[in-house]
Each structure stands twice: as structure tokens, then as C-alpha cells.
Amino acid sequence: MQNSPTLELAMDLLRRPSVTPADEGCQDLMCERLAAIGFEIHRLKFGEVENFWAIRGDSGPIFAFAGHTDVVPTGPEANWQQPPFEPVIKDGMLLGRGAADMKGSLAAMVTACEDFVAAHPDHNGRIAFLITADEEGPAIDGTVKVVDWLEQQGEKITWCLVGEPSSTAHCGDTIKNGRRGSLGCELSVKGIQGHVAYPHLARNPIHQLAPALAEMAAEHWDEGNDFFPATSFQVSNINGGTGATNVIPGHVEVVFNFRFSTELTEQDLRRRSEAILDKHGLEYEINWKLSGQPFLTSEGPLVEAAVAAIKTEAGIDTELSTAGGTSDGRFIAPTGAQVVELGPVNATIHKVDECVSAADLDTLHKIYVAVLKNLLS
């Protein structure tokens, strides 16, 4: 049986080993297809990162598909059933690095637009694509830079659908209508190095830090709310010592992270954390890094259009969720856009033998067409 246009395009994209920040021609392929149906293409390279903004239509609200062509490394290719950049459909599953995250979604977006434009050449509003090759990496020269460029052009996205793999068990069963904020910290606590037999002549920074970390781990940061779980605190790295058993270390370095709700701000977390560190009398240096503010699209035309499209095309009632990590939606939402993430099942993302149901990609194509119809026809 012949593959659908969506599956054929997905396989063409999967054959390109676009490990961050490489694109390997994925965006060329997408731009060629979009230009053929009347999109105006803007290629936007920042640093070494390829990005593009494509738009169709002259006026009215902008509905934008957003996503990334880059993928994470494969790990040892010998561990894969099939070479990760030689996609195959096996037992109804499309295998290949990026199948779920997120070249399958990109293919469905393009073919959805092809079908929608063929049926509605004079559609209301405008359709756009915001595509980067820097989502899985530093995320410095990708979506955030394109958003800045759009601001300079005076363009505002009204509705944005990010094709991240949001589904849990069935395509469309979950929409991400928000994400928690992510605040990281690198903390260095200074002590005085010395011999373990003479602790009175030294100051052990690990001993000093441990009670402070315990207090931070036990701290009740907030209650969360109807859309977000309570803020979480996790230590991810701790390093100290010379490697010798008889030396008290002179410093210890810790890395920790907050995933936080809309109940708190970055400033709240920094202030409360530093108050705990100060209370324990630590001599420290601290470097905070905000990866993204929390955002929420609780209601409105975009959520309604997506929920209705899933019901029509997949026959299920979707769940709204803010769980999981961050996405590039964190750069788009602050501009005032309504943002949701809607894509295939995420069970195998970043894993060996990443795969997605071939039938699900065709369903996703239909859902995307229905979203366009609900908003722009």
C-alpha cells in the first residue's frame, strides 16, 4: 500500500541527520513545499543556526505552526533495530530519530497546509511557520531570535500551535496548554581546605551546605493551582573534594533547578533561596539562569479549535495539561500569543528506536487541517 503524503514527507525529513544545530536541508525541503502554495519565505540564520519564517496571506490574525528540524544524538547506532537515519515502517510504526520529536509533526503541518490551501485558497487571516534548528540544543540562536526579528517587523502571532509530542497513549489525548517555568542555579560555596585530622584548622563547605540544601528540599514553595502542580526543587549535581580521603575540601559546587508555577516569580525564588543560604552563614557565589517563564493558555479560540478538531478527527475528549519540560513555546507566549502544543505520542522521544504510529501521523494531519478550518475558514 502506498504511503500517504504525510508519511512520505516525514521519511524524507528523517533521512537527513540533522543533529543540533545541523539542519541538513530539512528546512529547504519544507520551504520548497510551502513556497509552492503561496507562502512568502524568510530565511533567518543567526550564528550557525538555520531558521525560517514563512507566511501566507495579506492581513488578519496570524496562526503559526512552530517547531524544530534538529534532533538529539542517536547514541550508539548499533543499539538501534534499524540505522536511525534510514527510516522504515515496521508493524505500523515509523522508526527513525526524530519520528516523534518532531519531524512527524512537521510533515503533518506542511501537508495539512497543502490540503487546507487547496480547499480554501482565499482563507481568512494568515498562516505562518516558525521553524528552527536550535531547539534541542542551547536555544540561543533559534526561536528566541526569530521572535525578536518578528517584533522588529511589527508582526504579532495571534495563535501558535507547537508540534511537540504532547500525546500520552493516543494521538490527541493531551494538549499542552502551558508549561512550568525553569530556573537553574550554579552555586559555589567556599570553605577552608585542610587535613581531616585537624578540622578545627579548616572549614568544610559540604558540612556547611548540607543543612541549607536539606531546608531547601523540604521547603514548601507553593501550592500550585488549577493548571500547575506545586513548584519543585531538585539538586542535579554536586561536586567537591580533591579525591583524597584525608583532605577537607576548600569548596563545593552545586547545580539545582526549580520548575515553577505561575504562583511564583523568578524573583521570589531567588530571594527565598538566598535567604536560606544566608541564614546558614555560607560564603558563596551564585549564578542564576532562567530558561523560561511559566505560561498558560487557559481558554480562547485556539484551545477551543484544537479541542474540537481532536474530537472530530480522533473521536476523543482531550486533556489539557501543563506537565513536562520546557518547549520553545516559552519564547512565543510572552509576546501575547495563545500557545498550545499538540503532537504525537511521546513514549519514545530521545530513546533508542524512536518511533511513532504511521496511522497517528495521518490522524495528526487531519487534526491540523481541522484546526485551520476552525480558525481561518
Catalytic residues: 70, 135
Ramachandran sector of residue 350 (left: φ over 0; alpha: ψ -120 to 50; beta: rest): left
**Which element (helix H / strand E) includes 212?**
helix 205-218
DSSP-derived 3-state class of residue 175: strand
> For residues 277 and 201, what is the distance between their CA atoms, to the nearest angstrom?
23
∠24-29-30 over CA atoms, to 5°? 115
> For residues 227 and 214, what is the distance between their CA atoms, to the nearest angstrom?
28
Query: At residue 198, what are phi and psi to the nearest 5 degrees?
Result: -130, 60
Cis status, amide bond into 229, omega within 30 of 0: no
**Which element (helix H / strand E) includes 365?**
helix 358-376
> For residues 123 and 358, what is the distance between their CA atoms, to the nearest angstrom?
29
Look up cell 474530537; give the residue: 311
Q: At what angle do helices 5-14 and 104-119 cross, to 10 degrees?
A: 140
> For residues 243 and 51, what is the distance between their CA atoms, to the nearest angstrom?
45
